[in-house]
Amino acid sequence: MSTVSANLPRPGAIPWRAIVRVLRPREHKHFLAHLLRLDSASRSARFGRGVSDDWVARYAAETNWRRGAVVGCWIDGTLRGVAELRRFGSDRSKTAEMALSIEPTFQNCGLGSLLARRVVAIARTRGFIKLCMLIAFSNWRMRSIARKLGARMAFADGEIDADLPLDPYPQATDIPRNEVEEGHPRSNLDAHSVGNRLISELL
């Protein structure tokens, strides 16, 4: 696995090492622990309202990992950020929804943008043609991420429906699915830097 060190464009940052990869169902305990570490503002932003620990536990337990993908960002061995990709509607639907959660200490450092880009790539390899996001009007960071991805935004009732049309990957059928989406320690094809962080992405 390769890493890239980078400059320090954002002040107050501490150096850490992060790995971005698709999570496996057996890692659901880490997924739950991450969601429980979100503070109340982040939980509200993620789930659209304030939710209890019990509600979060049910949500994590009921997550259908086969209906999409859960991409995680591990920092020093702890899951600090997650992007969920979920098929929207029927089993044949080619629309997916995306939701992100980054723990407060690690917000505004570029990790949400990084995870969102990774989810877009995964959605394309899985044949989705549209990615949608429901964003609170005041969620400037998420709005910024959706805008950077090129999403079309429709404003209504204090919320934003963001839709991103997806082009298929031309060579998607040429790439073994498990290498692209599940990550393999010896098939690290890409590496990024975020702020002053060291990022390894497992494709």
Query: Under the rule (CB under 6 A), what is the footprint of ligand COA?
Result: 42, 45-46, 99-102, 107-113, 133, 135, 139-142, 144-145, 148
Shortest Cβ distance from residue 27 to ligand COA (Å)?
19
Measured from the CB atom, the residue of 6 and 175 that comes closer to ligand COA is 6
55 vs 140, which CB is nearer to ligand COA?
140
**Which residue has its beta carbon closest to ligand COA?**
112
Of 8 and 172, nearer to ligand COA (C-beta) is: 8
Q: Helix 111-125 and helix 140-149: axis angle, to 10°?
A: 40
Q: Cβ 172 to ligand COA, closest distance in Å?
A: 26
User: Residue 107 Cβ, how far from ligand COA at the closest point, in Å?
Assistant: 3
Residue that has been written with the tokens 């990774």 in this structure: 118
Q: What value, to the nearest 5°, has the Cα angle with vertex 131 and ends 58 and 197?
A: 80
Alpha helices in 9-165 (DSSP H): 28-37, 40-47, 53-62, 111-125, 140-149
Helix (H) or strand (E) holding 97: strand 95-102
CB nearer ligand COA, residue 149 or residue 175: 149
Beta carbons within 8 Å of 17's beta carbon, 6+ residues apart: 3, 75, 76, 197, 198, 199, 200
What minimum distance in Å lies between the beta carbon of 106 and ligand COA? 7
Smallest distance, ligand COA to C-beta of residue 7, A: 15
Cβ proximity to ligand COA: between 158 and 170 the closer is: 158
Q: Which is nearer to ligand COA, 156 or 171 (CB)?
A: 156
| Cα–Cα distance measured from residue 73 to residue 115, given in angstroms and rounded to the nearest whole number | 8
Closest approach of ligand COA to the CB of residue 104, in Å? 8
Do the beta carbons of residue 42 and residue 35 sit within 8 Å? no
Separation of CA 177 from chain center:
19
